Each structure stands twice: as C-alpha cells, then as structure tokens.
Amino acid sequence: MKKLLAVVAVLPLLASCDRLETLVQQQPVQNTDVQTKSDEQKKAEMALPDFAQLVEQVGASVVNIRVENESRNQKIDPFAELFRDFMQEDPFNQDDQNAYNYGSGFIISSDGDILTNAHVVRGGGTIIVTLKDKRELRAQLVGIDEDSDTALLSVKADNLSAVKIGHSKSLQVGEWVAAIGAPFGFDNSVTSGIVSAKKRTLPDSNYIPFIQTDVAINPGNSGGPLFNLRGEVVGMNSQIFSRSGGFMGISFSVPIDVSMNVVEQLKKTGHVRRGHLGVMVQPVTHELSQNFKLDRPRGAVIVQITPNGPASKTSLQVGDIILEVNGEIVETSTDLPIIIGYSAPGSTVQLKIWRNASTMDMPVVLDELENKKAISFHEPATSQYQDKAFRLPELGLTLAPLDEKTAQHYKIPNGLMVMNVESQAQTAGFRKGQIIMSVGQTVVSDEATFRAALQAYQGQESVPLFVLINGQPFFLSCPLK
C-alpha cells in the first residue's frame, strides 16, 4: 500500500437485498403512491449497514499474496519523502521482512485469474497465493501495468469462488463500501466506510481517477477488493494518505472499470496501450472562465500542442478549451488524460471544444502514448533587456521584447520577458523571468502588439496571459486596474 505524506493541488455495504427489504418493511406504510415508496427506500438506505451476509458471500474470493523479494535493495522510490510502498512484511518476524512482500488480491475468474496491485508483485520472485481455505498455490505473473498499479496473476485451479464485477462509474459520493484484505498480516480482515470523493488524481498517477474513501486501509491491504452494497467489486485498494505510517481516514482505490480494461489488454497482448492526443492542458479557473466567456469553470484549456502529434494535424489551437471527448464530459483538466489514455491508439475521437465564445466539434485520430523523459528548463537572465523595457501600470507588469537567441532556446517565435512584477500581478502568479507569449490567443512580440491585444479585454476584471514558466506553458489571469 502506498503511503502519501502530502497531496497538493497537485469502503459501505448494507448487508444484502434481503436485509434492505426487511428494513423497508419495518417502515410505517401510510399510502402506496410512488413518492412515499421513494422516501421509504431513502430511509432504509440511511440505516446502519450489517456486513455479515456480504462477508459470508464474498470472503472466499479474497486471497493473501506473498512474494519472494529477490530485488529488495534495488527498489528505489524517487519520491522517498512523499511516498512509500506498502508491500507489507509480517510485522512480527524480522527475518521474514527481508525475504517477502505481502499484499492482498481477489479472484476474478473461477479458473484462476487473480487481480492485485502492481506494487505488490513488482521486483519480486516466486508468488504464492493463499486461499481462504488455507490452500497455497504458486501463481504466474500474466502481466503488469505500472501506470494503473494493476497486475494480473494466474493459478492452476478450478471452481474457485470469483467476485462479481461492478461498475465504479455508478458509485456515488456518500455510498457505503467495504474492504477485505490482510492488513499487517491479519488475513480476512473487514473494514468499512463511505465513498469520500471520486476522480482523485494523485502525484505520478495521471491515468487513475482514484476513488477516495474513509475505509480503514493499512499495509497488507494493497490489491484487495472494495465492495459496494450489492457485493460487487467497484475498486482495488491501492494507496493511503498518512503522516504516521497507518490509517488516517483517507484511502484511495483504483476503479474496477480501469483495472478490468487493463486486464483485457494484458490477456490479449501482455501489455497496455494508451491513446495519445499530443496536448498539454491546465485547469480552467474562475478567472479564466470569465476571460474566455465560459459559463463556469470546466473543461481543460490547451496550453501546448506537441509537434508532429495527433493534435498538431488538426486545427486545434492553444487556448481552446476541451469540454467533451466522444460525448464524455471533461469536467476538469485531470479528466482528459484519463479519458484519452483509455481510448485505443489509432481510434478517432470527437472533441467538443470552446473557442471564441462558442462550441465546435473536431475529430482527432489518436497516436499511442510513449514514455518520454522530462526536459529541464532554466529561466534566462533579465539584465540584458533593461534598455527595451516598458511598464504596464494597469497590469502591474514591466515587460521587454525577447531577443532571437532566447526565443530559439525555448522554441517559440517571439514573446515578452517579465522584468518586474507589482503586487496585483504577483498575487496572480507572475514572477520576474517568465515569458509572456500571447494575450488570450493573440501572439505578442512588442509593446504595440501587446497593447493592441489588451484592447479586447477593456472593461473586464482580468486578462488571460499565456506564460512560459520554467519552460512549461500556462494561462494566468492577470487583474486589470
């Protein structure tokens, strides 16, 4: 189980259908109209859950996983101060800690397919699966996908008790859920809670819309199932937020819809392919939604288009706001990589975008996502631009035209160097050394072009400026005096 020390911007079962029916029958019946029935059902759902029948029905589908650790000393976490993998060892046996990693899993087919977290089996050797009846079976690793923290195992057995697969998209915030796993080596432990939030994006996990719950999850729960009220698996327990090393009320699960998509691909090809649109996006803030005349903050605004990528072969522009993909709403910028990532490479997606205060549809043929190393940028010195600087008191900025050498370094045609920042612009995020490339979607290169572009925003409270920060493009909304 991964431990999150910091997340910066940037499991509930009523027992069974029988139990629900009993609770409904206990409510006083005043009349038989539709509204009264609906009220009674709501009252039943508010009752405290009883998990006994659920555990009896699904308990045999949950397994413990022990992995011989052949490369423990080679396991390096680049975010050591922020993350920690909970491939938990037996806390009562120090010798065993050096030899094995422990986790949980669940059976997804009666002939031996088992799902667990990638971090449970990553870098390990022999994998042993222990069933509820204490049988130990050696498992084969069918495939692993680090991006979704999903691994598919297979054991040689028949007539195993498999879980029912639910739909994580139908989960509602506040809904009861339950987890079964082996925290700290205590097998078949049951914990419960509610769904706290959906579509959480965590650092280094851009392709998982995590389910956040307040279910007690601890080391050893990794890879275990998250059940809904009907006894269906809706998620796979993966990470916790903690400052102490144990449960603190915030747990994260991989949606089962994501995991099963991965399973299907691992079975067919042994690896996972993800779609690639070729854009960099950022959130639409309240100020930017006003700047772009959008009804409310929603969608993902394009801040960069990758050369020779799929988007570059269309008429998409920097400043376009993507609102939908194939009819699926992009509510926030974190939704886009998830939707695109699980679209097939080579497929055509229909984007609905917002441009010039109106919507338009645009088809794009996706490429396959490839892992690329990040490029490091450094802000240039500003001293050489002092003689060409001009002040914009209405924005609280002093700017200067960019020289050709710096523009070539950043692979941009031109722009304006930020020389000085006053209070209102500093509060908005502007800093000395940044490069302003456009006002809205109008490219600027000198004082004349900047002031001309600024005219379109007279009378508004702020203006959207397209800025290069540490080599990365962003839209920042600068207040107008």
| pLDDT the model gives residue 190 | 93
What is the residue type of 192?
S
Instruction: Out of 227, 249, 271, pick the residue that ends a domain.
Output: 271
151 plus 4 within the same structural domain:
yes
- Asked, for residue 452, whether it belongs to a domain, the answer is yes
Element (H, E) at 454: helix 447-454
Q: What is the CATH number of the domain that holds 292?
A: 2.30.42.10
Q: Answer whether residue 73 is part of any domain.
A: yes
For residues 265 and 408, membership in a common domain is answered with no
Q: Are residues 449 and 473 in the same domain?
A: yes
Residue 14 in domain: yes
Sequence-ordered list of residues with C-beta below 8 angstroms from that of 36, at least 6 positions apart, any chain: 29, 30
* pLDDT value for 384: 67
Tokens of 216: 């007690």
Residues 109 and 162 sit within 8 Å (Cβ to Cβ): yes
Of the candidates 183, 240, 242, the one whose C-alpha atom is nearest the C-alpha of residue 210 is 240
User: Quick one: 325 and 262 in the same domain?
Assistant: no
pLDDT of residue 69: 67
Do residues 43 and 128 both lie within one domain? yes
**Distances from the Cα of 82 to the Cαs of 3, 5, 183, 207, in angstroms?**
8, 5, 21, 19
Per the structure, the count of domains in the chain is: 3
Cα–Cα distance for residue pair 473/466, rounded to 1 Å? 7
On whether both 129 and 248 belong to a single domain, the answer is yes
Tell whether 209 and 294 lie within a shared domain.
no
Q: Which residue has the tokens 């082996």?
A: 182
- Chain-centre distance for alpha carbon 18: 36
Please give the pLDDT value at position 91: 38
Q: Is residue 285 part of a domain?
A: yes
CA-based nearest residue to 124, from 155, 99, 105: 99
Containing structural domain, residue 396: 383-479
Do 147 and 241 lie in one domain? The reply is yes
Assess whether 346 and 453 both reside in one domain. no
Catalytic residues: 119, 149, 222
Task: Looking at the structure, tell me whether residues 252 and 320 fall in a common domain.
Answer: no
Residue 263 lies in a domain: yes
Say whether both 30 and 172 belong to one domain: yes
C-alpha distances in angstroms, 47 versus 57, 126, 227, 468? 21, 45, 18, 53
Q: What is the CATH number of the domain that holds 250?
A: 2.40.10.120
Residue 430 inside a domain? The answer is yes
Domain end, chosen from 230, 254, 271, is at 271
Exposed / middle / buried, residue 410 (Cβ in 10 Å: 0-12, 13-18, 19+): middle
Q: Check whether residue 238 and residue 294 sit in a common domain.
A: no
Distance CA(125)–CA(127), nearest Å, equals: 6
Say if 373 falls within a structural domain.
Answer: no
- Map tokens 């971090």 to a residue: 119
**16 inside domain:** yes
pLDDT at 97: 52
Structure tokens at 420: 């000085």
Domain boundary among 318, 339, 368: 368
Helix, strand, coil distribution of the chain in percent, nearest 5: 25, 35, 45
10-residue mean pLDDT profile of the chain (481 residues): values are 41 32 38 50 64 88 86 38 36 51 93 94 84 93 90 93 93 94 87 92 79 90 93 92 72 94 88 91 93 94 92 95 96 89 92 96 92 41 73 92 85 89 86 91 93 90 89 88 76
